Structure 1
Amino acid sequence: MKRLLHFLLLTASLFLISHESIMAQNDVLQNQATFGDFMDRSGNEYRTASGKPGPKYWQNEADYEIEVQLDTTSHTLSGKVTITYLNNSPESLEFIWLHMEQNRFTPDSRGTLTTPIQGNRYSGNLDGGYDIKNVTAKSGRNTTSHEYIVEDTRMQVFFDEPISPYGGSGTVSMDFSYKIPESGMDRMGRLNVEDGTIYALAQWYPKVAVFDDIRGWNILPYLGAGEFYLEYGDFDYKVTVPYDHIVVGSGELVNRKEVLSKTLLDRWDEASKSEETVFLINEDEVKNYSLTRPKNSGTITWHFHMKQSRDIAFATSNAFIWDAARMNLVNGESGLAQSAYPRESAGQEAWGRSTEYTKAAIEFFDKTYYPYPYGTAINVACNVNGMEYPAVSFCNYKARGSRLWGVTNHEFGHNWFPMIVGSNERRYAWMDEGFNTFINHYSTQAFNNGEYPATLDQTRRFVSWMTNDSREPIATYPDVTNLRNLGMTAYRKPGAGLVLLREYIIGPDRFDRAFRAYIERWAYKHPQPADFFNTIENVTGEDLNWFWKGWFYETGNIDLSITAAQRVRDGYLLRLQNNGEIPMPVLMKITYDDQTSENVKLPVEIWQRGNDWTHLHRTDKKIDSIIIDPERLLPDINGSNDVWPADYYEK
């Protein structure tokens, strides 16, 4: 009789659940849209459905030869650039487009005219802009053209004979000059310090835009928040400066013996073998030019070379303290971490640890994700709060402690995204800032066994933003995004999304394999969002449409709940609800009255047919409490309904 009673009670409970499921049929269509395809990710001969570059994938190449001179009186940079452009595309090109980013610093630039009158981070000086002369374009049988159009931050250069497809080449050369802005949109500029001036030079030469299989020419104007999308190539550049200046830049310094004194050469060799920071120029030697410079008047030319890079940057000053240490890289390789900073930034609580931070960040990313390709990594203290270029970072000269670690770690992480994996930052900021924020989280955890806090997994800190009416989707273009939202849409939310994939949805082993596969597949190439999505899904074996759509392209939220735990003969019927727009697997910690506990994970597919689910948890123990997401990894917007009994936290 007792067994029959239990059977009848279980049958009645299941009937009520089925009835409620029928009443919720409207959820079915809604959830099918949630789980269905939301964008075309089908493959073609250029980009496969599995996320790999296709058998006919192509990209073009741009090699640069540049010579410039710095005039410290007028604060101008002038010189000549010659670009050799290789057209690997299947179509002929009668012109090429160049980025002319210094033209942003003029009163009538689009960036200036779209900056709020009260200003913002991307405000800049307005007395700059390129002066261009002697433009020459050659292709085919060496036919020469001088025809070009400059429109805002873009320049269109025409050829008399189109550059032929499948390997044709052309060259463009010109003389250029501009006044270096003091305030360079928080990306470059100049800073007066006690001992001289620091010039942080970026976006300093005309450079070719990307021509790809997705949009053809990618030539959005340089407005502010949108960063860069550039072709790969080799760089050979020379910088002529006053004799008392030190120059640090992207690539290998190929004439070291000509620009460094015997003392500096010896210290350089010492630093290249040292795990600890070695001073090349210490605080007391900043003005001791006879000790640290090879000459005592005139100018001197520093010569750098860099292979397979998408950009270059450099800094120069007569006020630099300069130190360095050996970086230990995978495959037995080594490199030199360096820091250049003024006397105002010195000290172990500040930039005295910069090289230590640089070395630790590069070594972690190199070992964990993909080999570091550059022989140097240089951190420069200047008036830029934080900006990245291949092998060079510009960070604020006032930064110290955890702030200096954070910005150093972040800017050098960008060598993987987007310097190695060459995504389109101007359109998809989340593919470089977000991915980089994600890897920064783990490098911070690893640094000195957690000397500084890593908090990206504390996603419930983001709930107030995620429930704010002014929030925007991650996929919003950076130049369109409200600047108050950019920190979330470009950095924290996409970074936290990858943490959720790794720690909650997929698991570290499978996710790490897929994430590294994405880097390996698209190193020195140009991935699109679909290439990332397809790679992660194909390598992990998970259909994640529901996550990509909800997290990256919409503004919905997560709200899982447990509403009941009804005891039946074989255990408990656990009543769960999905009250949010983004479904999630349900991880529950079930604690029994004997103080033992176990974790139970239900797949996200329980929500495919509706937003109510009942799970039969088989146990002969008495349940004391149930907590959904016990590690609080999910930014669940209503934590009060994640527990059973409802008054659990009040006990």
Structure 2
Amino acid sequence: MTYFRRSMSILLFAFSFSLVAQEANYGNQQLFNEFTYREGNVYRSASGKPGPEYWQNSADYNLEVSLDDKNHMVSGKVTIQYTNNSPETLDFIWLYLEQNRFTENSRGTLTTSVLGSRYSGDVEGGLELTNISAKTKTGTSSKHLISDTRMQLFLDKPLAAKGGEVTISMNFKFKVPVEGMDRMGRLDTKMGTIYAMAQWYPRVAVFDDVVGWNTEPYLGAGEFYCEYGDFDVKITAASDQTVVCSGILQNPTEVLTKTQLERFSQAEKSDKTVYIIKPDEVGKPISNLKNKGTLTWHFKMENTRDVAWASSKAFIWDAARMDLGDGKTGLAQSVYPIESDGSKAWSRSTEYTKGSIEYYSKTYFPYPYHNAINVAANVGGMEYPGVSFCSYKSKEAGLWGVTDHEFGHNWFPMIVGSNERRYPWMDEGFNTFINHYSTAAFNKGEYPTDTDKPRGIVKYLTFENREGIDTSPEVAHARNLAYTAYYKPAAGLFMLREYILGTERFDNAFNSYIRNWAYKHPQPNDFFNHMENVAGENLSYFWKGWFYGNGNIDMSVSDVKPHEGNYLITVENNGQIPMPVELQVTYSDNSTENVSLPVEIWQRGNSWTHLLKTKKSVKRVVLDPNKMLADINTLNDTWDKK
């Protein structure tokens, strides 16, 4: 009896193992495995929040500069109060000298194709520095090394951890480039030159808990990663110049005429655009204080990672009130030349700026600055805290699109301070994603948006020379960068919201991510972890497949057949990225039924058969009926009864 029972147990075990072996196919397990080191620590928690000992350093700036509009020169002094909040001492401080990009021997120039690109030209610039010093409690040091667009400033003694302070100061001077890699520069117009000023002062590089000093050179495609701090900025220019800058003007009565002050007061209360300088006033006494040789414009901005400014005697200037919620208001402004004037062009810029800022402020996170200023320049589109540079040629949908996109950047990366130089998808992709919803909402859908059509990027997804989202912006081919940084990550977020998680779960997680990382420095894993923890979903398969891979989505309905009075529907995963399955079944009486299958059906293999319990006759089955997925082959998504 004991032998019989033991023999039967062995036989039953063998039979059970045989069944499991037939059912299980572990070839798909790698699609669902974790793909990076995503465990938490005291600085960054496993839940995707800043950890209990999270830290970041800070830098406050005092800037005093003068604009010489005859020789196109900027000169001045920067004083930086830098605080080391990290748990380690620092022997030196790294700073960025981004104007050094505009020299013949810069790394950026030498790595730009001879065929030219957006980053070509402008090699007669570069920073001229004097009186460099770093002063601590123990002494002063001027020892430094300049390497391309970076400067290593050595200290007399290591800067103390957890609160050590150093005062860095230097004088600087540079010639304003004409085309500053489509990010800043100068534009000649009928009534004068427009100066769009960015990357214009020596600034501290970020020291963080992930890589230490972030010292990637400024080559061109990669943008910026900055510490937060308070800025005090004084800009001296000829009295016929109008100057706008990030932050709030501190001395309006000293630089504006009585008429302009009155109009400013009116604009602060108006939802309609109000002229500060009218088109027919440009170049006339009402628009400036000509009895003064020069004027100094004083601005302040708190808790920001950067400031930018613009100056010209050619500016038309208008403004309108922004409603930022909770009783807070701000001022949307635009400055532009007469070449850009018109009801289909820049005369609507302030309306666009107001609409964009108000939407994002209400939907995601309150806009933290008082002013939002759109500047018409020879820059296609570039963002800075509170200031955007957009093409002076833009009109209608094009002007709305570039205005909305650049001001959307105030949320990514100005509020959520990600590293643009390493991870452009964390600002460009996120911003392109939220642009879709703001465009759909603006003026009851006045302008079209197609981010809700992920299949629109299938041509790129099947392109032989495509590159992944994780490709460095400096490495990505110029024709691919728009997809790797903008369109593909935006399509991924759209699918995550509208198809995988649903709007409520996604919005809870996404808005929580913004709140928790406002004015901080998140890494990709922080985003992944936080979205999963708040939404309650393991999304490793999606992060790995879409954001860190070059595979594609391709699911199909391969068979539908009767089975014991019901139906068996077989779906297949022909691609490299598993996804949940949404089916729409149409019956012979033209009624429909939706079927949802979880992503876990693909864990054991690439084919799955679902039992549809129904007494009706099935006429048609469509996968992804709302066309939410970037499925590269739509020909196999539909089964029709023949």
Per the normalisation by structure 2, the TM-score is 0.96
SS in 1 for 2:40: coil
- The answer to whether residue 257 in structure 2 is matched with residue 261 in structure 1 is yes
> Aligned to 1:376, which of 357, 371, 374?
371
- The equivalent residue for 2:291 is 296
CA distance in 1, matches of 2:423, 2:51: 21
- The equivalent residue for 2:106 is 109
- The answer to whether residue 91 in structure 2 is matched with residue 123 in structure 1 is no
> Aligned to 2:514, which of 513, 516, 519?
519
SS in 2 for 1:329: strand
- The equivalent residue for 1:404 is 399
CA distance in 2, matches of 1:623, 1:185: 59
- The equivalent residue for 2:48 is 51
Deviation per CA, 1:462-502: give whole Å up to 9, x if none.
Answer: 11110111111101111111111000000000011000000
- The answer to whether residue 450 in structure 2 is matched with residue 430 in structure 1 is no
- The equivalent residue for 2:8 is none
CA distance in 2, matches of 1:637, 1:595: 28
CA distance in 2, matches of 1:116, 1:53: 41
Q: Judging changes above 3 Å, is the alpha-carbon distance between structure 1 residues 307 and 201 closer, same or farther for their aligned structure 2 residues?
A: same
Spell out the pairing of 1:485-564 with structure 2 (5 A cutoff): 485-564=480-559
- The answer to whether residue 593 in structure 2 is matched with residue 608 in structure 1 is no
Give the C-alpha shift of residue 31 in structure 1. 1.1
CA distance in 1, matches of 2:513, 2:94: 29
CA distance in 2, matches of 1:166, 1:616: 62
- The equivalent residue for 1:359 is 354
CA distance in 2, matches of 1:348, 1:432: 31
Q: Which residue identity lines up with residue 365 of structure 1 in the other structure?
A: Y
Q: Is the 8 A contact 2:364 2:514 kept in 1?
A: yes
Deviation per CA, 1:258-288: give whole Å up to 9, x if none.
Answer: 1100000000000010000001111101111
Q: Is the 8 A contact 2:553 2:577 kept in 1?
A: yes
- Unaligned ranges ≥5, structure 1: 1-18
- The equivalent residue for 2:281 is 285
CA distance in 1, matches of 2:505, 2:639: 31
- The equivalent residue for 1:462 is 457
Give the C-alpha shift of residue 22 in structure 1. 6.8
Q: Is the 8 A contact 1:21 1:612 kept in 2?
A: no
Q: Is the 8 A contact 1:140 1:162 kept in 2?
A: no
Q: What is the Cα-based RMSD across aligned positions, in Å? A: 1.4
> Aligned to 1:70, which of 67, 79, 92?
67
Q: Which residue identity lines up with residue 528 of structure 1 in the other structure?
A: Q
Q: Is the 8 A contact 1:38 1:549 kept in 2?
A: yes
- Runs of 4 or more off by more than 6 Å in structure 1? 19-25
Q: Is the 8 A contact 2:620 2:641 kept in 1?
A: no
Q: Judging changes above 3 Å, is the alpha-carbon distance between structure 1 residues 646 and 344 closer, same or farther for their aligned structure 2 residues?
A: farther
Give me the identity figure in percent: 60
- The answer to whether residue 131 in structure 2 is matched with residue 172 in structure 1 is no
CA distance in 2, matches of 1:388, 1:30: 45
Q: Which residue identity lines up with residue 319 of structure 2 in the other structure?
A: A
Deviation per CA, 1:505-547: give whole Å up to 9, x if none.
Answer: 0000000000000000100000000000000000000000000
- Unaligned ranges ≥5, structure 2: 1-17
SS in 1 for 2:355: helix
SS in 2 for 1:117: coil
- The equivalent residue for 2:197 is 201
Q: Is the 8 A contact 1:140 1:161 kept in 2?
A: no
Deviation per CA, 1:228-271: give whole Å up to 9, x if none.
Answer: 00000000010000000001110000111111000000000000
Aligned residue pair count: 626
- The equivalent residue for 2:76 is 79
Q: Is the 8 A contact 1:124 1:181 kept in 2?
A: no
- The equivalent residue for 2:636 is 641
Q: Is the 8 A contact 2:619 2:641 kept in 1?
A: no
CA distance in 2, matches of 1:606, 1:417: 35
- The answer to whether residue 334 in structure 2 is matched with residue 339 in structure 1 is yes
CA distance in 2, matches of 1:29, 1:277: 63
- The answer to whether residue 206 in structure 2 is matched with residue 210 in structure 1 is yes
CA distance in 1, matches of 2:495, 2:293: 57
CA distance in 2, matches of 1:116, 1:30: 43
CA distance in 2, matches of 1:145, 1:526: 30
- The answer to whether residue 435 in structure 2 is matched with residue 440 in structure 1 is yes
Deviation per CA, 1:200-243: give whole Å up to 9, x if none.
Answer: 00000000000000000001000000000000000001000000
- The answer to whether residue 564 in structure 2 is matched with residue 569 in structure 1 is yes
SS in 2 for 1:594: coil
Q: Is the 8 A contact 2:240 2:289 kept in 1?
A: no
Q: Is the 8 A contact 2:91 2:154 kept in 1?
A: yes
SS in 1 for 2:38: coil
Give the C-alpha shift of residue 591 in structure 1. 1.0
Q: Is the 8 A contact 1:60 1:88 kept in 2?
A: yes
Q: Which residue identity lines up with residue 451 of structure 1 in the other structure?
A: E
Give the C-alpha shift of residue 24 in structure 1. 8.8
CA distance in 2, matches of 1:621, 1:260: 77
